[in-house]
Structure 1
């Protein structure tokens, strides 16, 4: 921590954060020099700093705080009761705590397509890493040792652990980490606005994506392609909503070449897109589903992998051959996290959360669409209660600003001044408010965004970057 900053606020939590805490997704030098943004309490969609300033968190933290940031008495009680009864047990060697059994049963029952078993992890990254290991294990069990390559997409986000970060199609997660690992292939991002060609219809673009996927599979050899990982909506890639007919065409290719589909529902699951699962919103038929975040409303770390009967039988039989499935995590199926997740699902049902998202989504869409005619706004994307507004230099050509200008991050700074936390993906500003938000709260959020957008436009004019 530099001396001037420490002298200015020697006892503040922000200064102590800069002195002692090494963050993820953060410029470490900047945090050391300036200190962190420290949140001390929450209430609904709002969080508050140690100085008492209010901020509307428009991304539900990290796409996860579906019930908001205030304490949830039912979840507090569920955690307390489990802590008082059995605060820890593991899931190795046929042992398990009671709430884990109930949660597994509940998730299999809620699955959008027939699933057989649930396996628990602590994060979406761990879930996707584990799914990769399961797929490799499965193909060895089936006598297909060459069928190991996995396809993911440009702008995909599947996490930060070694295999999951390799699946992620964002270069920043690979730079100087010696990633991606071998056997990861990349195919098109289904973003028509950004990647569609001149004169190409949305359906024709979807066909091109499917044709390119098939060419990739044939070039590599279908006997080498194990799985296709995909988010129903690509969240951290900028809330990319797939082009019309995309999933229908992609699914046909995967079935043709016996390629497993892994639906990464870490962001989309539990009502976010207007259905219990993004898989339902877009008509997918996955073999494996990974999920996390809203599973516990972001209150405790927990993730789950759902596998169908075909996948399970291969894993089961191979575990019998080896005397056990030699993969596991100390905190996999942690009883306290499981109890909280189980109660979260009950709250969703009691609140009729999917109906609420469907009822409020039109207002969310209207608020977003109101920015469509702004000179900086190229595209507005939304489904359910998740969306993005992409800023462009030229609305007609879709030309982006020079990345060195950092237009999106600059808007985020202006938004911060207006008490709004919003996520930039280059120049796309992402929104994922708590699913319990009211129309008035959404209007408040976008009002703050509108003021930040005006500040950004004024700044670009002053600097001569726009007319």
Structure 2
């Protein structure tokens, strides 16, 4: 299965060649004058200008200067089927010419939204007694997690337990950047702006073995201990006040933090013991990223709500939502009356049509199975080799995500001082050498398109190794190695 699954659906080169040339400096000037970018130091960006990305094909993007770049982050964890898939553009065009938009308020619906909800219900596997037959739509993961807060609290209100409002999350988690999403997330930089988190949201430590394990502690024992932080927090707050626990199967934006195998079974035991709801935020992890349609299936736990976005359309158009488990849906439907929550673009027909076409591609090309059986194991094999680099303290993968830790001393696993920004130095070398690899502190991470071949993985690993070499030379020259 190492052959490239992309076929004639890639946009033809002739079409790309007809695109007008881009005046980089003019676009950068307009960008600086008018576009406030997300998660950006505006003043800093104005000083050097944005890199202007003009097109994409397969696993590659090109900037306005003609530089070809291997996109090892699949956009922002989302271009699962790769760039240039003509079928997705065609699906959007057909739907725009048929019904470009109508709302889902006032007891109306549209065909793609209904078909996609049914498709997602079919793809979401039943785990134990829990299944997913209902979908609530949004336009992003952030909005979806806002919806989770509303649904969770409404659920407990309807069951006569309105005091159950507290939602527990994890430090260094990412659940979006809206007021509720950023509050659910555990990013201190986000909490420092906007008086966050909002009330009744609290956090426990993340299951990051490299950083939080005790001396001599096994991975197995650490996983159990890390899950125990949830039980301790529940007892601290009072079980009768806790509504839900929300977590990513693996923490993506936090640095591809992969919990030990013992973590999720113990989390499931704890939420069952205290009767709280479990929210699986799979905005990054669903739709083949970890080698399964949904990550809860891979790890074997039983969520009540599943957040999705990104990979459902491979990022070609905004769409998000929540898979609502039967026990929550039954209460909302049978006891709830009108649910006073929703969005203008809930169930947008064009977005849903693109999602259906995207899922069809993923099924036809068996991308989740391909990640599980072929390219995921091959990436893991190659990352073992990367782990031998003198600058790398740990290298690990899960499905088609991977992370490595930069260290100043490999034998003692001693970290660099945070103010040295060694991760950003490495990221700079990546950008200068045709590779997009993300830095989260001193942790370098990737999440490539699921369509990569073995040869392209080899190409990516060679680029990563070169950038690690360049970073090593720079930090050695600066006298930062121990």
TM-score (norm 2): 0.92
Q: Cα offset for 1:11? A: 4.6
Post-superposition Cα deviations, 1:32-64, rounded to whole Å, max 9, x if no partner, equal 222211101111111111111111111001000
| 1:16, distance to aligned residue in structure 2 (A) | 2.1
CA distance in 2, matches of 1:268, 1:298: 14
Tell me which of 293, 296, 302 is aligned to 1:285. Answer: 302
Question: Of 112, 130, 134, which aligns to 1:117?
Answer: 134
1:343 aligns with 2:352: no
2:196 corresponds to which of 179, 184, 191: 179
Match of 2:179 among 142, 162, 175: 162
* 1:94 maps onto 2:95 in alignment: no
Cα 1:428–1:325 change in 2 (3 A) is: same
Contact between 1:232 and 1:279, CA under 8 Å: does it hold in 2?
A: yes
Distance 2:344 2:313 in 1: 19
Mapped contact 2:24–2:65 kept (Cα < 8 A): no
Name which of 82, 89, 96 aligns with 1:76.
89
Is 1:452 paired with 2:467? yes
In 1, Cα distance between equivalents of 2:286 and 2:377: 19
Q: Could you tell me which of 157, 181, 185 is aligned with 1:140? A: 157
Give the equivalent residue in structure 1 for 2:220: 203
Which residue of the partner structure matches residue 401 of structure 1? 416
SS in 2 for 1:181: coil
Q: Give matches, 1:32-431, under 5 Å.
A: 32-70=46-84, 72-113=85-126, 114-320=131-337, 324-358=338-372, 359-431=374-446
Cα drift, residue 367 of structure 1: 1.9
CA positional deviation for 1:76: 1.2
Q: Deviation at 1:280?
A: 1.3
Residue 464 (str. 1) matches residue 479 (str. 2):
yes
Q: Secondary structure at the match of 2:414?
A: coil
RMSD: 1.3
Q: Deviations over 1:344-398 (max 9, x none)?
A: 1111111111222121112211221111121210111201111111111233443
**CA offsets, 1:240-289, max 9 Å, x none?**
11112111111101000001000011001011111111111111100110
Measured in 1, the distance between the counterparts of 2:111 and 2:170 equals 38
CA distance in 1, matches of 2:61, 2:149: 36
Aligned twin of 2:5: none
Equivalent in 27, 35, 38 of residue 21 of structure 1: 35
Classify the secondary structure of the residue corresponding to 1:41.
Answer: strand
CA distance in 1, matches of 2:342, 2:335: 16
C-alpha displacement of 1:93: 2.0
Instruction: Return the alpha-carbon distance in structure 2 between the equivalents of residues 426 and 36 of structure 1.
Output: 21
1:319 Cα offset (Å): 3.4
**Distance (Å, rounded) in 1 between the aligned partners of 2:298 and 2:379:** 17
Residues 136-168 of structure 1 show CA distances to partners (whole Å, capped at 9, x for unaligned) of 111111110110100101221111111110111
CA drift of 1:25 comes to: 1.2
* CA distance in structure 2 between the partners assigned to 1:226 and 1:10 by the alignment: 51
CA contact (8 A) 1:16 1:35 kept: no
SS at match of 1:393: strand
Task: Tell me, in whole angstroms, the C-alpha distance in 1 between the residues paired with 2:188 and 2:236.
Answer: 24
CA distance in 2, matches of 1:453, 1:11: 31
TM score, norm. by length of structure 1: 0.95
Q: Is the 8 A contact 2:24 2:64 kept in 1?
A: no
Q: Which runs of 5+ in 2 are unaligned?
A: 1-22
Query: Could you say which residue in structure 2 is the equivalent of 1:438?
Result: 453
CA–CA separation in structure 1 for the residues paired with 2:209 and 2:88: 41
Q: Secondary structure at the match of 2:415?
A: coil
State the Cα distance separating 1:218 from its structure 2 match: 1.1
Secondary structure of the corresponding residue to residue 227 of structure 1: strand
